[in-house]
Structure 1
Amino acid sequence: MLFDSTLRRDLSRSFGATLIVIMTIVITMFLIRTLGQAAGGAVAPQDVALLLGYISLENLPTMLSLSLFIAIVTTLTRMYRDSEMVIWFASGVGLARFVRPVLSLVWPLLVLVAILALFVWPWGNRQVVELRDRYERRSDISRVAPGQFQSSADGSRVFFIDRDTGDGSIANNVFVLERREGSESVTSARSGRIELDGDQRFVVLEDGQRTDLELATGEKRLAEFESYRVLVGEALTSGTDNLPAKARSTWQLLTQPTERHLGELAWRIGLALGGINLVLLGIGLASANPRRAGNWNLLVALLAFVVYYNLLSLSQAWVASGTLAFGPALAVVHGGMFMVAVTLLWWRERGSSMVLRRRRPAG
């Protein structure tokens, strides 16, 4: 049908352009933040691109929903401004008639949003957690770059090496300054290497000396050694028991229904339900007066999106804190938004019908 094909074509073009713009803005923001974290030592510089990819996948459901919402509002608003809506209304096509072609076009995107929210979101979060955890739990000697002073993870040690081998496992001319409560020690060695003992890492220093200083008394002790072993790292990897709720699979959340898990589950299901409500809400919010300049309806639509997703975050917090049960939280937020969207759609449909009746000449 001409009506369906025209609407789908315009909506597809608008959605594609909007998604590109939103993804560019969001990825640029995350890139700046990730580079800042890498500069501050929170993540490994070589993992920036990989981390950015995981974060983009995590936020893809929200970007798709926002792009779809804006595309619906802008497409229908343009049709109002070009008086196309008046023609369709005069032909007997009401605003509610737009729901079916829009849903028939966007239902694959809504299914994709649900899959991303339920499965890709926890996988991406888990990969981010493992990347950061692996970086935080690496050995202290691996933090050191030749010719640079570098502190350990807890700040109790300062390392310096003159040079190392290509793989970083053996360092030459090693300097270690260690501070403890009431004492300070300086260790220097001709070479050092990393050894693994179970899930712990040690650095073995060879051919060096160690100077201990008691800060209270000023007493010094000097010791020379041929081989000296220092613990510089804890467990290489962390267990899955310490994973946050957002990094756990949906099946784990269902089989372990704690309050925190149910709160995370409310967020994921809310992302899927939110896409459907935004489609209906976008059709109802799209309205423009050809005689009035400006895009106030788009600003109102963006404000509605922000409020809706803030309510979604609040519902997650309510369920996680035990303030509201899982089912009532979904019913209040998403059921309430569905009623608002349907009511707005009915009000727009009724208003357009009344306008046409007033404009129709008396027979």
Structure 2
Amino acid sequence: MVSELANSAGGVFTVLFTIVLAVGMVRILSLAAGGRIDNGTVLQMVLYNALTNLPPLLTLSLFIAVLMTMMRWWQDNEMVVWFSSGGRSLFSWVPPVLRFALPFVVAVGVLSIVISPWARSQTEITRNEFAQRDEVNRLAPGRFIETMGGKRVFFIESQGESPNEVGRIFMAERTSKGESTVTAERGTVEINSEGDRYIVLHNGRRHETALDTPVTRVVEFDEYAVRLDIKVDKRLESGKVSAQPMTVLFAGMTPDQQAQIFWRFSWPAAAFLLALFAIPLSASNPRAGRSLNIIIAALVFILYLNAISVVQTWIEQGKFGYMTGLFLLHGFVAMLCALFFIRRVYMMRWLPVWCSPWYWRRRLISSKEN
């Protein structure tokens, strides 16, 4: 059974991970093409993105693997043999499922609590490093790039021989006094004694147009220096709560940090409970098919995921702490799972028999016959 569960989980995870990896790679490549991240860090960013998505992917893979494996057993009538061998019940499936699920739960916990926050922090640090480079190094040749909130636009035709040199550069700038455009054959990045960065344009022409007059002034220059508005800050760190380690979260304990603690602990709890929940959800009549079970299982996962997000939002708003949120949400899901087990094991109805329309139909037919 464990080998069958492992094969199912491996297949499901491969499909889901491939989809997420492809979507993430397309998004990151679009950012690199737009000059928002460094082209040399694309693979690094794809890896970080994959690590942050692993906890929900492993949780969903575990849930689907247990559900589909046990549904196959029901459809092939193998559960009848299981129940008839020594008085076994649906509860007897709990130990083997847990033996298979516990390594997943541990992996999800490590990823959610340790590795995913580290990957998010590395993503933010990489973006901050690129954002704090000078504007020329951020430009991709052949594209228009906006800086200074759209007030300055650069266009570089080609990259120079050295990293600090560009060829055939165009710059348009808008200020409170007017507009100006600058063209130059080449440009270099230089740093003065105070650490300020400048781009020095060589052999170019500047066109200036004031707002109050249509007259354009043309100035030719051999060298023209433009101060860059970005300085390099060596103290790069991520300020996002989602990227902070657990020690920082427990030290601060603000509502946002408590919400993040709840989010990280929720994934291993969800992986554990969903693996158990899949056992009663898989029970079905071989003649009735399994469409209804799949729909119910999908609704359970979607509602569970949305409930985690809703409770996280409530914690951010300061309505209660993370411990209360963990106990209320996952405690409710555990009770619901136990209720499904009891119903499946003891064949109990969700509603009394007199609530069924078939009951009243039989009563009506029997009364007419009498």
CA contact (8 A) 1:126 1:248 kept: yes
Whole-angstrom CA distance in 2 between matches of 1:148 and 1:311: 44
1:106 equivalent among 91, 101, 105: 101
Matched, 1:231 2:227: yes
CA contact (8 A) 1:15 1:71 kept: yes
1:193 corresponds to which residue? 188
Whole-angstrom CA distance in 1 between matches of 2:141 and 2:83: 74
1:31 corresponds to which residue? 25
Whole-angstrom CA distance in 1 between matches of 2:262 and 2:17: 25
Whole-angstrom CA distance in 2 between matches of 1:108 and 1:294: 28
Whole-angstrom CA distance in 2 between matches of 1:342 and 1:84: 23
Q: CA 1:148–1:318 in 2, change beyond 3 Å: closer, same or farther?
A: closer
Matching residue's letter, 1:139: D
List gaps (5 residues or longer) in structure 2: 349-370
Q: Using the TM superposition, give the Cα deviation of residue 72 of structure 1 relative to its aligned residue in structure 2, in angstroms.
A: 0.6
User: Matched residue of 2:162: which SS?
Assistant: coil
Matched, 1:66 2:57: no
CA contact (8 A) 1:185 1:210 kept: yes
Whole-angstrom CA distance in 2 between matches of 1:329 and 1:145: 47
Whole-angstrom CA distance in 2 between matches of 1:225 and 1:321: 58
CA contact (8 A) 1:146 1:163 kept: yes
2:71 equivalent among 73, 77, 92: 77
User: Matched residue of 1:229: which SS?
Assistant: strand
Matching residue's letter, 1:25: I
Query: In terms of mean alpha carbon deviation, does 317-326 or 40-49 score higher?
Result: 40-49
User: Matched residue of 1:174: which SS?
Assistant: strand
Q: Using the TM superposition, give the Cα deviation of residue 344 of structure 1 relative to its aligned residue in structure 2, in angstroms.
A: 1.3
Whole-angstrom CA distance in 2 between matches of 1:13 and 1:163: 51
2:334 equivalent among 332, 338, 346: 338
Using structure 2 for the length normalisation, give the TM-score.
0.85
Q: Using the TM superposition, give the Cα deviation of residue 327 of structure 1 relative to its aligned residue in structure 2, in angstroms.
A: 1.7
Query: In terms of mean alpha carbon deviation, does 279-288 or 167-176 score higher?
Result: 167-176
1:212 corresponds to which residue? 208
CA contact (8 A) 1:280 1:345 kept: no
Whole-angstrom CA distance in 1 between matches of 2:157 and 2:71: 66
Query: In terms of mean alpha carbon deviation, does 170-179 or 284-293 score higher?
Result: 170-179
User: Matched residue of 1:185: which SS?
Assistant: strand
Matching residue's letter, 2:166: A
Whole-angstrom CA distance in 2 between matches of 1:332 and 1:160: 56
Query: In terms of mean alpha carbon deviation, does 159-168 or 177-186 score higher?
Result: 159-168
Matching residue's letter, 2:110: I
CA deviations over 1:92-115 (Å, ceiling 9, x no partner):
111111111111222111111100
Query: In terms of mean alpha carbon deviation, does 141-150 or 128-137 score higher?
Result: 141-150
Q: Using the TM superposition, give the Cα deviation of residue 293 of structure 1 relative to its aligned residue in structure 2, in angstroms.
A: 2.6
CA contact (8 A) 1:114 1:271 kept: yes
1:170 corresponds to which residue? 165
1:247 corresponds to which residue? 243
Q: Using the TM superposition, give the Cα deviation of residue 162 of structure 1 relative to its aligned residue in structure 2, in angstroms.
A: 4.6
Query: In terms of mean alpha carbon deviation, does 195-204 or 240-249 score higher?
Result: 195-204
Q: Using the TM superposition, give the Cα deviation of residue 284 of structure 1 relative to its aligned residue in structure 2, in angstroms.
A: 1.9
Matched, 1:131 2:126: yes
Using structure 1 for the length normalisation, give the TM-score.
0.86
Seq. identity, %: 31
Q: CA 1:124–1:100 in 2, change beyond 3 Å: closer, same or farther?
A: same
Matching residue's letter, 2:18: T
Q: Using the TM superposition, give the Cα deviation of residue 136 of structure 1 relative to its aligned residue in structure 2, in angstroms.
A: 3.3
CA contact (8 A) 1:193 1:203 kept: yes
CA deviations over 1:131-161 (Å, ceiling 9, x no partner):
3333333322224344554433522222234
Q: Using the TM superposition, give the Cα deviation of residue 226 of structure 1 relative to its aligned residue in structure 2, in angstroms.
A: 4.7
Whole-angstrom CA distance in 1 between matches of 2:139 and 2:7: 51
1:355 corresponds to which residue? none
List gaps (5 residues or longer) in structure 1: 1-6, 353-363
